Structure 1
Amino acid sequence: MTLSTSSMYPEATASTFECASQLGYDGVELMVGMDSVSADIDQVVALSDYHRMPVTSVHAPCLIVTPNVWGTDPWGKLATSGEAARRFGAHLIVVHPPFRWQRDYATRFEAGIAELNAAPENKEAGVIYAVENMYPWRTPAGKFLAYAPDWDPTMRSYDHLTLDLSHASTAHKQSLDLVRSWGPRLAHLHLTDGSGSFKDEHLLPGEGTQRAWEVVRDAVGRGFDGDVVIEVNTHRFTSRADRQDALGRILEQTRRAVAEGMASRLPSYSGSTASTERG
């Protein structure tokens, strides 16, 4: 189980490494662009070494609020994300689909992701690019389809997918359905929740309608052995102690759900050597 640096916001990237180490998380997912440190590979390496807390995944700077982080060329951002992942020893890069106005990027996106996953340097390092499910933007005037070729990666050709429960909620999807339809393409899980609001809420698991713990149990029971990343909104907590208490409780509940999922695995998975702790 790993902790996203976004879960500590508005605290800094350094706080995530400290908190994850104190609570006993297995690693950190680096959300690049949260602050200047998150985009400084040398500083991140120093934090990881100091806290003995590995960076196991990298969220590429493809948010609307990170247009200039690691350059302005989207393919350059993904290339730098790969360099960072290999430097950290991380095994996965989370990628959002392009915005619709990034026309050239969107046109080549599916083929380009396949090329990155097939690149010798990534295959040798065991690094994969996993495209994340997004959602249609909803306004009083109706839906605005902001992503291309699609906000839903289900019917696309990507080999590896990241499931975000809050994004599924905003899209009025059920994450359990996505787990079952994606099958072995599910490579990474952003554990959070949502109420179906037009907002991307990132509630704590169990606070929304996505049946978060059942999603974890079901995914693990079906053979999922990727990272379960706690990516939640903790703005409402006014102190480090309260924020840390909440993240500690989530870690305990997640470990319990993973263990229950492992116990329910079909016999075909009983010989798996995958580590539940990495997830």
Structure 2
Amino acid sequence: MPQEDLDRPSPHVALSTSCLFLAEPPDSFRVASELGFDSVEVLVTHQRMTQLTHQLQDASQKYQVPISAIHAPTLFFTQQVWGRPWTKIQMAAKMVEQVGAEVVVAHPPFAWQSKYGRSFVEGVHTLSEMTGVKIAVENMYPWRVGGREMQMYRPHWDPRRFDYDWVTWDFSHASIAQVDSLEAIRELLPRLGHVHLTDGHDGGTSDEHLIPGQGEQPVAESLRYLAEHDWQGVLGVEINTRSAKTDDQRNAMLAESLDFARTHFRPGPAGPATDDHAS
């Protein structure tokens, strides 16, 4: 093997439990192990097991796949999980400590959570400082109804506008917002705490979470940029596999995403992006 290949940075790639929607969490650990993922990102949902540290640790130990990230239940459909908004992030931070993960992924508040939204930026910083846990706020997007954009997140859907200590970058969300992810990642690099590896069609209204390389975002170029700059975070594969009719089809989608990460997370030009992503 050439020395330059030995010296290449190797990405740490996690499988998000959201990729196996409605499956029991142990299935995610089993699939991650079988396909060669480095770890699992746990999305906390209404499924009881996603909330139970000891059961997650049992699955992690059984399949010898660690947990690298905890996605707090701050999604629209998890509003009833773990009660109050700050409780969600506090409990996610506690779970990170208990399972030995690296980061909490959190969405910004919804527009109707006005009090929570006003204190969010400072509150996240304070909680991270108190716990020592990396809390990475995820980029979201404007909602579009009847051709009009609606601001549905407080203080905003774009975390670049604020001094969060850490940010999670999601390519599918960037596609809806029509944000150039390579440009954003260059700007965020010193505080980029986590990446959701996926894709989407720019300017759409649906959060597609496509296999990376099947949309219009500069995903390959962004991964090369991160490798060139020795980024040490986790690439969390978070794709929508609900179109798969069989487990084999689903696993093929996940394997393709993993291979994409391994292929493109390599040193390359750190300058302007080349237009070699799918359109």
TM-score by length of 2: 0.89
Give 1:192's match in structure 2, choosing from 195, 198, 210: 198
The aligned residue for residue 155 of structure 2 is 149
Against the structure 1 CA distance between its residues 195 and 63, is the aligned structure 2 distance closer, same or farther, given a 3 Å change threshold?
A: same
The aligned residue for residue 93 of structure 2 is 82
Residue 6 in structure 1 maps to residue 6 in structure 2: no
Contact 2:134/2:193 (8 A) holds in 1: no
Contact 2:137/2:168 (8 A) holds in 1: yes
Give 1:130's match in structure 2, choosing from 130, 136, 145: 136
Residue 16 in structure 1 maps to residue 28 in structure 2: yes
The aligned residue for residue 255 of structure 1 is 262
* SS of residue in 1 equivalent to 2:76: coil
* SS of residue in 2 equivalent to 1:58: strand
**C-alpha distance in 2 between matches for 1:194 and 1:95:** 21
* SS of residue in 1 equivalent to 2:161: coil
* SS of residue in 2 equivalent to 1:108: helix
Contact 2:198/2:238 (8 A) holds in 1: yes
Amino acid at match of 2:105: V
* SS of residue in 2 equivalent to 1:154: helix
Contact 1:220/1:265 (8 A) holds in 2: no
The aligned residue for residue 53 of structure 1 is 65
Deviation at 1:110, TM superposition (A): 0.6
Residue deviations 1:230-278, cap 9 Å, x none? 00000111111111122112212211212x23x6689xxxxxxxxxxxx
The aligned residue for residue 274 of structure 1 is none
Residue deviations 1:43-62, cap 9 Å, x none? 11111111111110000000
* SS of residue in 1 equivalent to 2:205: coil
Matches within 5 A, 1:107-256: 107-119=118-130, 122-123=131-132, 127-196=133-202, 197-256=204-263
Against the structure 1 CA distance between its residues 40 and 64, is the aligned structure 2 distance closer, same or farther, given a 3 Å change threshold?
A: same
Deviates more, 1:180-189 or 1:130-139: 180-189
**C-alpha distance in 2 between matches for 1:264 and 1:178:** 16
Q: Percent identity?
A: 36
Contact 1:13/1:34 (8 A) holds in 2: no
Amino acid at match of 2:144: R
How many residues end up aligned between the 2 structures?
258
Structure 2 residues without counterparts, runs of 5 or longer:
1-12, 272-279
**C-alpha distance in 2 between matches for 1:155 and 1:139:** 24
Contact 1:161/1:188 (8 A) holds in 2: yes
Deviation at 1:223, TM superposition (A): 3.1
Amino acid at match of 2:28: T
The aligned residue for residue 49 of structure 2 is 37
Structure 1 residues without counterparts, runs of 5 or longer:
267-279
Two-structure CA RMSD over aligned residues (Å): 1.6
Give 1:105's match in structure 2, choosing from 85, 105, 116: 116
Deviation at 1:29, TM superposition (A): 0.4
